[in-house]
Amino acid sequence: MTAVHSISPEALDLLYQATLAVANADTLADVLQQTVDSARQLVDAEYAAIGVAGEDGRFQTFVFSGLSETAAAQISHAPVGLGLLGVVMEGTEPIRLPDIAADGRAVGFPANHPDMDSFLGVPMLLAGKALGNLYLTNKLGADEFSLTDERLMQMLAAHAATALNKMNLLATQAAYGRQLARRNQQLRAMSYATAAIAGELTLDKGLQLIVAAARELIGARYAALGVPGVEGMLASFVHSGMTPDEVAAISHLPQGKGLLGVLAQEKRPIRVTRISDDPRSVGFPANHPPMENFLGVPIVGDGRALGSLYLTDKESGELFSADDQELAAMFAEHAAVVIQNAHLYEQVGRLAVVGERVRIGMDLHDGIIQSIYAVGLNLESIRLGLSTGQVDGVEEMLDQAVEGLNDSIRDIRNFILDLRPHRFSGNLAQGISRLVREFQANTMVSVTMEVEPLALAALPTAVARAIFLTTQEALANIARHARAKKVTISAKKSAKAIEFEVADDGRGFDVATQNQTVGHGLSNMRARAESLHGSFKVNSAPGQGTTVCLTLSY
């Protein structure tokens, strides 16, 4: 209490004004500058300074008062927190000296530093920890700083420490907010990117989408993705960031060696500060753009290495971070799905081709080949009869042979019709008209259209495409199996749904026992309708024709 009473009312008022200014400062720089300016005024010092400690204990921030910019520029370097300044930060008590140079803890001044004699150093304490120190030199009008000066500086330093801590907290919160906003932006962009990726069935296009999205979201200058072939060399390689001219100039694209080979073997991410310094690197092909930083993540599926995704050189000049690695790993997971789906799609395609060949072979053997063989036997009988002079019934047998050949030609045309699917152009009425014309040309079967005006117009693309494909499969089935003489196509449209039917007067079949996955394509029609939340029905019986009905909402 004695020390407090020894402080004059004028000094206390100045201290109050100084602490108020420090508390109201908007930025860290303002807090520090306001503190040193107020300190000089409070205790009549020629110079004042604050050093804020970094993680290594040295000053990471240093501000001063009383020294001109010209004089400051001539000093070889700013104080870093050694000597007496380091002692102040390591302790909890102030240090007052009449002569700095006479104290054994001093380490001297940098070159071109102004002369300083008396010294007052006060740690800026918060919860017993020094955030830095406030010090003053050269007491004006006296040989040294007083105890009252020391008490005033302790109070000011305490307020400055509180304001400094508040600024640090605000800066941390702001940095976290920016990081969170950036992360949310990345996740939203990732969601859009993966939606586009999921809609792409072609392997190279799907991988290209992944590479482009990864490069953009992580902020890399270059990105690439490689998929190994049978012998370990890259069978598929897509990239983003290089111009066509840069790509054309490269002697050869990467082959899966070096760091890419390590990714495939070890199946764990790799982050490298400088590619050329890593012993696992094998260098770049001739004319390859220079690249320094590296982030690579393996693409793994079912425990197997399916490829690798890697990025080089962040546009910001920073190194790749753990967050970048996590984001790249998410893209690698999507790439694994794309690659596995492509492989599965290829396998299913092969099986479908083999199955279709078997089916066609069986149909040809049981139908067309047998018919042609029967025509051949018939012609052979005619030839033998003519060679022996037996001409009775030859004309009738020739008529049978011609009829058999015509039937075989008709069946072959029906096979051609079934094996030549058409792509949907987008205009449903035109598409169905084209299907009907070709059906009639190949089968000579009459087709009647009972379609309400505008029933096939203004439908969603998915609904129109489903109707087109259902019509195509239904007509192909009729041509190959129904032996029909007449077909009727009808469509009725309401405000919310469309009913579409294809009916024939052919031989029909038993719906309960017919294998619907071979020959008729009925399972495909049903699956297509269900995928659009619609319904598909088949009405048929032996000798009573067949009607397929498709109902779709829109």
pLDDT digits (tens, 9 = 90+) for 40-96: 988 999 999 998 888 777 888 888 999 988 988 899 888 888 888 888 888 888 999
Give the pair of three-digit tokens for residue 148.
Answer: 């009252």
Please tell me whether residues 115 and 9 are part of one structural domain: yes
Flag whether 190 is in a domain: no
Q: How far is CA 259 from the centre of its chain?
A: 22
β-sheet with 119-126: strand ranges across: 59-65, 45-53, 129-139, 119-126, 95-97
Alpha-carbon distance 297 to 311, whole Å? Answer: 9
**pLDDT above 90: percentage of residues in the chain:** 27
Residue after which a domain boundary falls, among 138, 172, 206: 172
Residue 268's domain comprises 196-339
Most confident of 3-7, 251-255, 257-261, 548-552: 548-552
Flag whether 419 is in a domain: no
Q: How far is CA 121 from the centre of its chain?
A: 55
pLDDT digits (tens, 9 = 90+) for 493-543: 988 899 999 999 999 998 877 654 444 468 778 888 988 989 999 999 999
The dihedral region occupied by 355, where left means phi > 0, alpha psi between -120 and 50, and beta the remainder, is: alpha
Give Dmax (Cα) for the chain: 153
Alpha-carbon distance 499 to 536, whole Å? Answer: 10
Give the pLDDT band of residue 5 (cuts 50, 70, 90): very low
Alpha-carbon distance 343 to 337, whole Å? Answer: 10
pLDDT digits (tens, 9 = 90+) for 406-439: 777 777 766 665 555 566 777 899 889 988 988 8
Please tell me whether residues 166 and 213 are part of one structural domain: no
Please tell me whether residues 19 and 162 are part of one structural domain: yes
Flag whether 285 is in a domain: yes
Alpha-carbon distance 221 to 205, whole Å? Answer: 20
Q: Is the dihedral of CA 274, 275, 281, 282 positive or negative?
A: negative
Give the pair of three-digit tokens for residue 75.
Answer: 């000093």
Please tell me whether residues 531 and 436 are part of one structural domain: yes
Please tell me whether residues 37 and 80 are part of one structural domain: yes
Q: How far is CA 78 from CA 31, 64, 71, 411, in A?
A: 19, 10, 12, 97
CATH number for the domain spanning 502: value is: 3.30.565.10
Please tell me whether residues 166 and 201 are part of one structural domain: no
CB atoms within 10 A of CB 542: 9
- Is 222 or 14 the better-scoring residue by pLDDT? 222
| Mean pLDDT value of segment 370-378 | 72
Domain count, the chain: 3
Flag whether 188 is in a domain: no
Please tell me whether residues 206 and 143 are part of one structural domain: no
Q: Under a CB-based contact definition with an 8 Å cutoff, are residues 414 and 442 in contact?
A: yes
Residue after which a domain boundary falls, among 280, 312, 339: 339
Please tell me whether residues 9 and 158 are part of one structural domain: yes
Q: Do β-strands 95-97 and 119-126 pair in parallel, antiparallel, or remain unpaired?
A: antiparallel
pLDDT at residue 518, as a whole number: 41
Q: How many helices (H) and strands (E) does the chain have?
A: 15, 15
Flag whether 371 is in a domain: no
Helices (H), 388-536: 394-419, 428-443, 461-477, 522-531
Residue after which a domain boundary falls, among 324, 339, 354: 339
Alpha-carbon distance 95 to 93, whole Å? Answer: 7
Among the ranges given (13-27, 83-97, 359-373, 435-449), the one the predictor scored with the smallest mean pLDDT: 359-373
Flag whether 402 is in a domain: no
Rounded to 5 degrees, φ, ψ at 4 are -65, -40
Please tell me whether residues 150 and 293 are part of one structural domain: no
CATH number for the domain spanning 138: value is: 3.30.450.40
* Tokens 């303002």, residue located: 30
Please tell me whether residues 310 and 453 are part of one structural domain: no
Flag whether 256 is in a domain: yes
Flag whether 433 is in a domain: yes
Q: Is the dihedral of CA 517, 518, 522, 527 positive or negative?
A: positive
Q: How far is CA 78 from the centre of its chain?
A: 47
Please tell me whether residues 441 and 497 are part of one structural domain: yes
Please tell me whether residues 117 and 20 are part of one structural domain: yes
pLDDT at residue 349, as a whole number: 63
pLDDT digits (tens, 9 = 90+) for 183-235: 666 666 666 666 655 555 567 788 888 898 899 889 999 999 988 876 656 66
